[in-house]
């Protein structure tokens, strides 16, 4: 009997223990459930209080944005003007700055070069949580905002849209930005101070994708796009044909030293230094007037403010009737049309760039001023420079000459004609009236060279003589010389660099500022 | 079957030749007309010679170009403008298209007769559009204009947004010259025709200043007074300084023409304006007066 009772007692204890455990378990579960219920209740209450914020568009849910087809039109920041006062509109823009002050949140919204002030205040359309939510949004995040446009009495000087502000009713986040930016945008837009130069340029280029977003960069590259467009339009109107030339070529065109070599299957090839050869072949094929826009590769190990290893070349070649000045005049007229077009249609961009990089507006004469090399030498000598009559112009001399020309004629753009033959490439046509000079010309903007051009030798025999005079291996240029053996019209041409022209037109000082993804001896990415 | 063309019923015979009698008649007509034109030109020339002192027209020439230079003095460009260093000695004039410098155009025509002048007209980017007569006011482009060093002088006119006319020559050693009359004095010196007599020189300057300050900048009363004194002076002699045509005549005539209403000007003034016109140097001015 004792054994049974002890067993029974053990069982009872066990049972008691078990029930205690169960009870504890139950209690724990009850607590859990209670907490959960509380949470739910809170959530529900929060939801009820702020139905606006935690709406369908939650922060991470809608990355693709293509799961709803909304018809609502988005107004651009630049179109927010007093005409839209009292209208309720949707705007998509980036958060430029955000600042909370008590029951209000001030946002500045930005798109491209344009900024507008937006105001979110606690009221019947917005809750306290919503204002807090807006204030905590990270800079550069892209948001959609539903707002009413309101006129302001006092101009908002710090924004581009100075006559209106937005009274925000709803905010949705389209793409959130990380909290810490690699470069503060205000720093990128502030004018340069002393000692900032090198570090700033490097920082800016490393964070290029951020830098491209500044108002100044937007303006610079829009203007650059305009230059390219005006170049094309003007030449097409003059009857030119656009051609595409190969960039992987078998022989270096300008000279052996500054050319990139690439491996080409079992041999090597070169990256084209200029489309010279192919432009001329098109003229020999009777295209009459051609131009091409494409990359140019120069393996020059020079780290200057105006050299890149890869840049965009805008090249022209034209057959003429009697005198190479027909071509030269055509080129200068094209440049003048580009300058006029930029002045007429891109004033906003020019002013935007000037705010950060002040400079004198670009001046020119129509028709373009043409000086001769001898005159330039005389002008420099009168200014105290010692140089030989057939010496090439050094960069400081070019700059000085630019200043002298500016002083006398008040123009930033001019042509220098009749260079000495000795300093030009072998394919330059000599001057028939004076064998020491050539039918070649350079064009300058703000005292820096932007175009080097000439009448080309179109006779195979003369070309061979000149090549031998320059000690060039005839075997290497056999194909080039051959293209003139079967009737070639007299022709001339020249080419400009898009980045350099943009830089000089705007009065900037480093070509890397006008190249979206610059390439130089030390830079290969982005 | 041969397909023969029907003969046309006209003067041509089968070979398309004209009847010789008709041809001779046409030639006689051409000859008569040519002689008529020659006689007309001679009469015109004589008329001008009679009414214009100092003009030296070759009356039998058919061309209507300006007279031989009325100025026969010589000027040494090297001493006036500095040694020729192999660069074109380019005179740059910046003028507003709202107020074209008529005297300078007349002086330009005179300079072209004396020297080899390379003339060019440019429009500065500060000006949006310029009426076509202003673009061709220096005459047609010289055939040899691509060879700049063959010219003794350059005359570059730039239409620009300036408040006052300005001339630049040697920016290293000369400051700019401002004002149409002052530039006119400079250019006149290049013709070597300045009056040597100090009294005459002073009178010339006096007339020029009168034109600048009273004719152009003065009110209508002052203008009328100037026209009266011009009339008085021109009653005594053919030109303002006496028998010699001078800068005083050029400047005053241009300012009178620019002021307008020349048909209501006093008699001597009108006669004098006609004489100026007959000299031919003012041909460039009249198209701009419209």
- When pLDDT is averaged across residues A331-353 and rounded to a whole number, the result is 95
> Which residues numbered 69-98 in B keep a CB inside 8 Å of some CB on A?
85-88, 90, 92, 94
Active site annotation includes A306: yes
CA distance A487 to A353: 50
Q: Which of B85, B122, B146 sits opposite A323 (nearest CB)?
A: B146
Model pLDDT, residue A128? 84
As annotated, the residues of chain A forming the CATH 2.40.50.140 domain(s) are 77-175
Q: Rounded distance, CA A426 to CA A415, Å?
A: 21
pLDDT at residue A61, as a whole number: 44
pLDDT category of residue A65 using cuts at 50, 70 and 90: low
Own/partner long-range contacts of A58-62 (Cβ < 8 Å, ≥24 apart): A59/A173, A59/A176, A62/A174
B148 touches A: beta carbon within 8 Å: yes
- Percent of chain A predicted with pLDDT > 70: 83
Which residue ranges does chain A devote to CATH 3.30.930.10?
A: 214-514
B109 or B17, higher pLDDT? B109
Q: Looking at residue A503, what is its pLDDT?
A: 96
Q: Which of A370, A500, A512, A515 is catalytic?
A: A500
Q: Which of A449, A456, A466, A483 is catalytic?
A: A449
Whether A169 sits among the annotated catalytic residues: the reply is: no
Which tens digits make up the pLDDT trace of B48-102?
A: 766 666 555 444 443 434 444 456 555 677 777 777 677 788 999 999 999 899 9
The confidence band for A177, taking pLDDT boundaries of 50, 70 and 90, is confident
Residue B162: what pLDDT? 93
Q: A467-473, long-range: CB within 8 Å, 24+ apart, which pairs? A: A467/A426, A469/A426, A470/A426, A472/A426
| Residue-wise pLDDT tens digits, A472-503 | 888 878 888 998 999 999 999 999 999 999 99
CA distance, residue A418 to nearest chain B CA (Å): 10
What pLDDT shows up at residue A172? 87
Q: Is A369 on the interface with B (CB under 8 A)?
A: yes
Report the distance separating Cα A174 and Cα A65, nearest Å: 8
pLDDT tens-digit readout, B76-91: 777 777 776 777 889 9
Give Cα A119 to chain centroid, integer Å: 32
How confident is the model over A214-264, as pLDDT tens digits?
778 889 999 999 999 999 999 999 999 999 999 998 876 555 568 899 999
Q: Taking 80 as the threshold, does the pLDDT of residue A39 lie above it?
A: no
Domains, chain B, ordered by start: 90-191 (1.20.1050.130), 198-288 (1.20.1050.130)
pLDDT of residue A411: 96
Euclidean distance between CA atoms A449 and A414, whole angstroms: 10
Q: In this complex, do B86 and A375 lie within 8 Å of one another by their Cβ atoms?
A: yes
Give me the sign of the Cα torsion angle B133, B138, B144, B149: negative
**Enclosing H/E stretch for A20:** helix A2-49
Q: Can you give the pTM of this predicted structure?
A: 0.76
Cβ pair A365:B125 closer than 8 A: yes
B124 closest CB neighbour out of A343, A363, A374:
A363
What CATH class is the domain A214-514?
Answer: alpha beta
pLDDT at B5: 47
Catalytic residue list contains A500 = yes
Name the residue among B124, B148, B158 with its Cβ closest to that of A372.
B148
- The tokens for B6 are 């029907």
Q: Is the ipTM of this complex over 0.95?
A: no
Strands A267-271 and A310-319, by their bridges, are unpaired
Which residues, in sequence order, are CB contacts of B8 under 8 Å at separation 6+? none
Averaged pLDDT for residues A449-470: 93
Among partner residues A365, A372, A375, which is closest to B123 by beta-carbon distance?
A365
Touching A: B residues 165-194, CB under 8 Å: 168, 170-172
What is the mean pLDDT of the segment spanning B149-156? 87
Mean local confidence (pLDDT), A105-118: 90
Q: What is the pLDDT of residue B68?
A: 45
Q: Which fold has domain A77-175?
A: OB fold (Dihydrolipoamide Acetyltransferase, E2P) (2.40.50)
Q: Do B86 and A363 touch (CB under 8 A)?
A: no
Interface check for B127 against chain A (CB to CB < 8 A): the answer is no
Kindly list the residues from chain A whose CB atom is less than 8 angstroms away from the CB atom of residue B88.
Answer: 372, 375
CA distance A424 to A401: 19
CA distance B248 to A432: 47
Please tell me the distance in Å from B76's CA to the nearest CA on chain A. 20
Q: pLDDT tens digits, residue range B170-211?
A: 888 888 999 999 999 999 988 888 888 888 889 999 999 988
Contact A434, A389 (CB under 8 A): no
Q: CA-to-CA distance for B61 and A4, rounded, in angstroms?
A: 161
Cβ contact B84:B164 at 8 Å: no
Exposure pattern of A407-441 as b/e (b: 16+ CB <10 Å)?
Answer: ebbbbbbbbbbbbbbeebbbbbbbbeeeeebbbbb
The reply to whether A424 belongs to the active site is no
Tell whether the model's pLDDT for residue B143 goes beyond 90.
Answer: no
Sorting pLDDT into bands at 50, 70 and 90, what band is B283?
A: confident
């Amino acid at each position: 009997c004792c054994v049974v009772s002890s067993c029974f007692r053990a069982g009872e204890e066990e049972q008691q223990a078990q029930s205690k455990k169960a009870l504890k378990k139950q209690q724990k579960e009850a607590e859990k459930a209670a907490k959960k219920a509380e949470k739910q209740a809170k959530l529900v209450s929060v939801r009820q209080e702020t139905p606006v914020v935690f709406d369908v568009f939650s922060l991470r849910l809608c990355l693709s944005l293509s799961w709803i087809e909304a018809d609502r039109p988005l107004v651009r920041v630049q179109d927010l003007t007093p005409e839209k006062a009292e209208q309720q509109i949707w705007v998509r823009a980036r958060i430029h700055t955000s600042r909370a002050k008590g029951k209000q949140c001030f946002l500045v919204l930005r798109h491209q070069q344009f900024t507008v002030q937006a105001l979110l205040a606690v009221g019947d359309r917005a809750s306290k949580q919503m204002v807090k939510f807006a204030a905590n949004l990270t800079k550069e995040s892209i948001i959609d905002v539903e707002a009413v446009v309101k006129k302001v009495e006092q101009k908002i000087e710090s924004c581009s849209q100075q006559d209106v502000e937005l009274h925000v009713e709803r905010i949705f986040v389209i793409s959130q930005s990380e909290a810490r930016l690699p470069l503060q945008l205000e720093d990128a837009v502030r004018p340069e101070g002393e000692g900032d130069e090198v570090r700033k340029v490097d920082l800016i280029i490393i964070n290029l994708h951020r830098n491209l977003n500044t108002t100044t960069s937007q303006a610079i590259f829009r203007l650059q796009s305009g230059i390219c467009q005006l170049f094309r339009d003007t030449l097409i109107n003059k009857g030119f044909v656009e051609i595409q030339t190969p960039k992987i070529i078998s022989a270096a065109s300008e000279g052996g030293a500054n050319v990139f070599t690439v491996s080409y299957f079992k041999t090597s090839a070169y990256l084209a230094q200029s489309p010279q050869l192919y432009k001329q072949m098109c003229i020999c094929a009777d295209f009459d007037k051609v131009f091409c826009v494409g990359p140019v590769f120069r393996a020059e190990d020079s780290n200057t403010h105006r050299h890149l290893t890869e840049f965009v070349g805008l090249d022209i070649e034209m057959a003429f009737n009697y005198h190479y000045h027909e071509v030269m005049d055509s080129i200068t007229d094209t440049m003048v049309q580009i300058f006029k077009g930029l002045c007429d249609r891109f004033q906003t961009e020019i002013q935007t760039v000037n705010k950060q990089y002040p400079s004198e507006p670009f001046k020119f004469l129509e028709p373009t001023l043409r000086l001769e090399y001898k005159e330039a030498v005389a002008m420099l000598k009168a200014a105290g420079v010692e140089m030989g009559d057939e010496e090439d112009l050094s960069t400081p001399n070019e700059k000085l000459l630019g200043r002298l020309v500016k002083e006398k004629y008040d123009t930033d753009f001019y042509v220098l004609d009749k260079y000495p033959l000795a300093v030009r490439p072998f394919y330059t046509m000599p001057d028939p009236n004076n064998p020491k000079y050539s039918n070649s010309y350079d064009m300058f903007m703000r005292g820096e060279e932007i175009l080097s051009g000439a009448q080309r030798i179109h006779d195979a025999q003369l070309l061979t003589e000149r090549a031998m005079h320059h000690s060039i291996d005839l075997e290497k240029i056999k194909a080039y010389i051959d293209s003139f053996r079967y009737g070639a019209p007299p022709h001339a041409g020249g080419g400009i660099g898009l980045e350099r022209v943009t830089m000089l037109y705007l009065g900037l000082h480093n070509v890397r500022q006008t190249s979206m993804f610059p390439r130089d001896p030390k830079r290969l990415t982005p | 079957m041969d397909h023969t063309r029907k003969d046309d019923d006209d003067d041509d015979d089968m070979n398309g030749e004209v009847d010789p009698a008709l041809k001779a008649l046409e030639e006689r007509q051409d000859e008569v007309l040519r002689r008529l034109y020659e006689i007309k030109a001679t009469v015109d020339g004589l008329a001008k010679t009679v009414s214009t002192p100092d003009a030296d027209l070759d009356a039998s020439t058919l061309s209507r170009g300006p007279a031989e230079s009325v100025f026969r003095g010589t000027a040494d460009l090297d001493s006036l403008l500095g040694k020729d260093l192999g660069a074109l000695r380019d005179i740059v004039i910046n003028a507003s298209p709202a107020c074209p410098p008529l005297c300078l155009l007349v002086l330009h025509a005179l300079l072209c007769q004396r020297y080899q002048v390379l003339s060019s007209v440019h429009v500065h980017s500060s000006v949006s559009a310029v009426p076509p007569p202003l673009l061709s006011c220096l005459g047609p482009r010289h055939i040899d204009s691509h060879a700049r060093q063959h010219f003794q002088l350059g005359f570059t006119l730039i239409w620009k947004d300036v408040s006052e006319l300005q001339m630049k020559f040697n920016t290293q050693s000369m400051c700019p010259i401002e004002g149409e009359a002052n530039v006119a004095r400079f250019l006149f010196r290049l013709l070597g025709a300045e009056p040597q007599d100090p009294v005459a020189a002073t009178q010339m300057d006096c007339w020029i200043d009168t034109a600048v300050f009273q004719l152009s900048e003065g009110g209508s009363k002052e203008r009328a007074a100037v026209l009266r004194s011009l009339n008085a002076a021109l009653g005594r002699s053919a030109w303002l300084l006496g028998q010699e045509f001078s800068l005083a005549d050029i400047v005053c005539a241009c300012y009178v023409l620019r002021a307008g209403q020349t048909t209501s000007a006093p008699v001597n003034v009108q006669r004098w304006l006609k004489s100026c016109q007959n000299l031919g140097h003012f041909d460039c001015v009249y198209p701009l007066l419209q």
